[in-house]
Amino acid sequence: MSHNTFGHLFRVTTFGESHGPAIGCVVDGCPPGLPLREDDIQRELERRRPGQSRFTTQRQEPDAVRILSGVFADDAGQQVTTGTPIGLMIGNVDQRSKDYGDIKDKYRPGHADFTYDMKYGIRDFRGGGRSSARETAMRVAAGAIARKVIPGVTIRAALVQMGPEAIDRSRWDWDEVDRNPFFCPDAKKAAFYEGYLDAIRKDGSSVGAVIEVVAEGVPAGWGAPIYGKLDADIAAAMMSINAVKGVEIGAGMAAAILRGEENADEMRLSNDGAIRFSNNNAGGILGGISSGQPIVARFAVKPTSSILTPRATIDRYGNETEILTKGRHDPCVGIRAVPVAEAMMAIVLADHFLRHRGQTGR
Ligand SMILES: Cc1cc2nc3c(=O)[nH]c(=O)nc-3n(C[C@H](O)[C@H](O)[C@H](O)COP(=O)(O)O)c2cc1C
């Protein structure tokens, strides 16, 4: 059974574990002729890389990516994609497997230890093995390639809530996102998060977050009806990110409390004939197909389950016991989920662009 591949025409397969020698991916179906250098991918990886602030895990991984295949110099000497599978690899260099010796036979509540053991009867306990979000580095790498397939689309994500503390949306500034360690678009709230998260970290605890992803420049018509809905694929992509427990598109859960006349985004024509919507409760998708409005998805990330506070659990031999996880962990995994969310959105949109072009020729 293989469930490590995402996408149809733009297909990403990842492999590797947290404490194995390397992680990697194969990107298949990428069109030929797109300029692609390791630097292009490295830039994106830098944003997800651990150990960059006291608010993320102190595991020091340079995340240096190597392109193993699928590129060649074109007639002008520029390195471009060839249309063949692109193999990418990142070595794991800062594993500290001994940190996990104490939990070898115990299940961390809230983590995947119990379910992996139930399913496979064997579990790589070092750093969570395959269930570790180390895997998401490869999604970010693949996402960097996906962005090149859809250069007219701008994809940005931001942390909009940490625990119960939401940003003030009237202060939203995209430029702020890369100025603070939280990818937060509200400078004032970001300053507040410093002390807030410090206290949680020092308590040996953790906290959840809400992330918002916005894709602008998607023309009307991408996506498909029924089983190929763009919103369904975006939801699957976001939900596949570690620790994500809820996804919404546009008004999402709040749509349930709106009246029909409030929820339906009214349509008008501008003087130049362009279509104007009064609002974007639909999150840029109607009937599974993009409307030309910005695509907006939001998701909830649960608090990190590996915490220093002792919790009740059982071991693999059926005994009740207690567990606390030493290791190095993000006190709020939602922070580093931000670049991962952008990557997954890029992968879905690149796939749907190719599918749309394949069916309609446009
Ligand atoms: C960027 C990122 C980093 C993460 N780091 C940790 C971590 O350090 N410790 C931990 O317990 N969980 C971490 N997680 C979450 C776990 O990988 C996840 O909870 C686990 O695989 C169980 O899967 P589920 O929560 O999706 O059910 C991280 C998630 C993300 C997105």
Query: Which string of DSSP letters, residue by residue, matches 11-77?
Result: EEEEEE-TTSSEEEEEEESPPTT-B--HHHHHHHHHHH-SSSSTTS--------EEE-SSEEE-TTS
| 302 CA to centre of ligand 1 in angstroms | 9
For the CA of 301, the closest atom of ligand 1 is: 31
For residues 14 and 4, give the distance between their C-alpha atoms in angstroms, rounded to a whole number: 6
At residue 336, the pLDDT reads 96
For the CA of 305, the closest atom of ligand 1 is: 11
| pLDDT band of 66, cuts 50, 70, 90 | very high
| 303 CA to centre of ligand 1 in angstroms | 9
> For the residues 260-280, what does the mean pLDDT come to?
97
| 210 CA to centre of ligand 1 in angstroms | 15
Closest CA to 210 of 161, 283, 158, 157: 161
At residue 57, the pLDDT reads 80
Identify which of 333, 338, 340, 342 to mutate to test ligand 1's pocket (most ligand atoms within 8 A of the CB): 333
> For the residues 258-287, what does the mean pLDDT come to?
97
At residue 51, the pLDDT reads 78
| 241 CA to centre of ligand 1 in angstroms | 9
For atom 13 of ligand 1, the residue with the nearest CA is 304
Closest CA to 41 of 159, 175, 146, 130: 146
Residue 53 has pLDDT above 90, yes or no: no
For the CA of 329, the closest atom of ligand 1 is: 8
| 246 CA to centre of ligand 1 in angstroms | 14
At residue 335, the pLDDT reads 97
For atom 21 of ligand 1, the residue with the nearest CA is 131
| pLDDT band of 54, cuts 50, 70, 90 | confident
Residue 265 has pLDDT above 80, yes or no: yes
Token pair 């919507």 in the structure block, residue: 277
| pLDDT band of 95, cuts 50, 70, 90 | confident
Instruction: Sort strands 165-166 and 244-249 into parallel, antiparallel or unpaired.
Output: unpaired
Residue 56 has pLDDT above 90, yes or no: no
For residues 10 and 283, give the distance between their C-alpha atoms in angstroms, rounded to a whole number: 23
| 330 CA to centre of ligand 1 in angstroms | 9
Query: Which residues have CB under 6 Å of ligand 1?
Result: 57, 111-112, 128, 131-133, 136, 241-243, 302, 304-306, 329-330, 333, 336-337, 340
| 125 CA to centre of ligand 1 in angstroms | 14
For the CA of 133, the closest atom of ligand 1 is: 17
Identify which of 103, 111, 206, 302 to mutate to test ligand 1's pocket (most ligand atoms within 8 A of the CB): 111
For the CA of 336, the closest atom of ligand 1 is: 1
Please give the backbone phi and psi of residue 117, each rounded to the nearest 5 degrees, phi first.
Answer: -65, -40
Residues written for the chain? 362
> For the residues 195-199, what does the mean pLDDT come to?
96
> For the residues 36-41, what does the mean pLDDT come to?
98
Output the CA torsion sign for 46, 48, 50, 54: positive
For atom 11 of ligand 1, the residue with the nearest CA is 306
| 149 CA to centre of ligand 1 in angstroms | 29
Taking all residues of the chain, what is their mean pLDDT, rounded to a whole number?
95
Residue 1 has pLDDT above 70, yes or no: no
For atom 25 of ligand 1, the residue with the nearest CA is 243
At residue 362, the pLDDT reads 87
- At 350, is the secondary structure helix, strand, or coil? helix
Q: Above pLDDT 70, what percent of the chain?
A: 99
| 66 CA to centre of ligand 1 in angstroms | 25
For residues 311 and 46, give the distance between their C-alpha atoms in angstroms, rounded to a whole number: 34
